[in-house]
Chain A
């Protein structure tokens, strides 16, 4: 005899339909807010002359990561401008910045909670496994159903994809703070907030920064996939290159992604490593 199939697929379909039907107003609000955030950020960057923005980025990376990174930043951004990828690149940057921002707002508190409570830890960890291994296309489609084609489902998928390492590394960083230091903080009468702010977070900072770094890079790598649901930017250019078999354009767009990734990586890595020695 044959066992009947457990209707997992049908259940998910029903769930998405129901969410669309009854919570549509809620998703509309999210869509409006996110669209506003993304377009405002992109517009305000594009309003600047490219060279001014390059100069700003170079100064930021010089202050945070030193002169070599600053020079690399300036040259890389100049190249992006030169190969006419400026506009999609700025779209991508603002999308990554917003996605990272949203991810961190959720994942750092969540990471702290996983470190402080074993039961939260037990619940959150399998969800993170799920988020990290489930192929992104699988949740891109329902995201499109709920939010319609455009930047919003792409951004949501990016946030889902980028959050896990930040949560894990925040939790790990706090758990790795030596037991005797936590004990010392308690022995002097710290409240749990004082313990967190004065001892655990500062000592976990390098690990948390590594989590943020991972978060940014994953967000960037997701941008190409998100292009399939209508997110523009460099991902859109790569996709267009593939669709038109325009190898040159695809490569140029890809190269721009790599340049942005390297800049963001070097800056965040320097912040993470630098705190330890000073």
Chain B
């Protein structure tokens, strides 16, 4: 069962949402409902499921309802209708007291403008959630220090928060959310107020923390690069509706509609596409048992100038070129092992294009895609690389 299930979430801002709510069921859009009833739709029939340990990104431009959606999850904004099921329990039906308990134990939140308490020190800020839970002083100090350690703020615990830089303030915000060890982190444009370099650091930090703690993260952002970088899956929102839901690659390579397509057209594809996405299946290889004659014939029939050599169990040994094979045949040498050039560009399937390009640029041979056991998974030839980038409209001189 999924960690968090959101079903038909609707939020209508206005005094009498019943009529507008009726219209949402008929599948009308935000604008149509506003025209007919004067009520503003914040979120319209949003449904999705988030798995435990997943980083789920909600992305959209301002006014798309993404921050509202996030606040519906912990009921900082009361939903008009719909369900939020966290660990099998419907948050929308919880009493005020139960809701407080859920907020205290299960849902940590990080805010765009940090929302730190200026009258408290870094440590007191980090310990805030624990204090609210009624933990005793020594216990909460210990846990808060642990959280500060996690975000790299040891040594700053007695500082005033407004003496810290933006990046450090948001680390405090993150520590405050992590201190009570919630399962789910709600992050509302958490890094949007930071300058680009710091933002990238914080994204790395988050990924790092995520790999250690394995939290379920719901991350709201308007920044596509950020979404692609940290998201396992992305929900793209427009006018209160989720218009597409999928992995970063699915959204980029297969936009659901014009809106998504326009959204993603400026993305630097070289940073998103991975080796796996553009490689060719290595159906034409030879093994170390084959002779140069066989290799040569294979190359001729496929029109290749070189061919990969693997062991019987597909472990990559290197490459042989047509020229070497011709030489060997002429000199009547039959062992292919002496012809293998082992020093060829190798990448893993997760390597993105951005990092493949320099490797392949200076090499005379195609790049091999191998797994951690050196098993050959695919081949990337220069032409395919270029084609891949051209087709998707990416540009190498995009965002640095």
Contact = CB atoms under 8 A, between A and B. Distances in A.
Contact of A188 (B99, B103, B118): B103
A136 interface: no
A203 B115 CA distance: 13
Most buried by B among A183, A185, A187: A187
B172 to A, nearest CB: 12
Contacts of A187: 74, 76, 103, 107, 109, 186
B143 interface: no
A202 B104 CA distance: 22
Contact of B119 (A178, A184, A202): A202
A180 B111 contact: yes
B119 A180 contact: no
Interface string B168-187: 00000000100010000010
B100 interface: yes
Contacts of A181: 115, 117
B240 interface: no
A184 B128 CA distance: 10
A221 interface: no
B177 to A, nearest CB: 8
Interface residues of B, number: 28
Interface string B91-119: 00000000111111101110111011111
A189 B117 contact: no
Contacts of A185: 128, 132
Most buried by B among A185, A188, A194, A203: A188
Shortest beta-carbon contacts, A-B, top 9 = A189-B104, A189-B103, A184-B115, A187-B109, A180-B115, A188-B129, A189-B100, A202-B119, A190-B132
B113 A180 contact: yes
A186 interface: yes
A194 B132 contact: yes
Contacts of B133: 189
19 contacts: A180-B112, A183-B76, A183-B115, A184-B115, A184-B117, A186-B76, A186-B103, A187-B74, A187-B107, A187-B186, A188-B103, A188-B132, A189-B99, A189-B100, A189-B129, A190-B100, A198-B131, A198-B132, A203-B119
A203 B117 CA distance: 9
Contacts of B176: 188
A194 B103 CA distance: 14
A189 to B, nearest CB: 3
A187 to B, nearest CB: 4
Contacts of B118: 203
B100 A191 contact: yes
B103 A184 contact: no
B93 to A, nearest CB: 17
A132 B119 CA distance: 33
Contacts of A198: 117, 128, 131-132
Contacts of A190: 100, 132
Contacts of A202: 119
A148 interface: no
Contacts of B132: 185, 188-190, 194, 198
Given A188-B132, A189-B99, A189-B103, 6 more contacts: A183-B76, A186-B76, A188-B104, A188-B129, A189-B133, A198-B132
Contacts of B129: 188-189
Contacts of B107: 187
Contacts of B74: 187
Interface string B144-184: 00000000000000000000000000000000100010000
Nearest to B104: A189
A44 B102 CA distance: 55
A23 B99 CA distance: 48
A157 to B, nearest CB: 37
B137 to A, nearest CB: 14
A178 B115 CA distance: 9
B119 A188 contact: no
A73 to B, nearest CB: 29
A59 interface: no
Interface in A187-201: 187-191, 194, 198-199
B109 A188 contact: yes
Nearest to A194: B132
Contacts of A191: 100
A185 B128 CA distance: 8
Nearest to B133: A189
Nearest to B134: A194
Nearest to A181: B115
A188 B116 CA distance: 12
Contacts of A180: 111-113, 115
Interface string A209-241: 000000000000000000000000000000000
A191 B176 CA distance: 18
B194 to A, nearest CB: 16
A192 to B, nearest CB: 10
Contact of B128 (A183, A188, A203): A188
Contacts of A203: 117-119
A191 B76 CA distance: 13
Most buried by B among A183, A185, A189: A189
Nearest to A205: B119
Contacts of A189: 99-105, 129, 132-133
A184 B108 CA distance: 10
A181 B125 CA distance: 11
Interface string A47-86: 0000000000000000000000000000000000000000
Interface in A158-186: 178, 180-181, 183-186
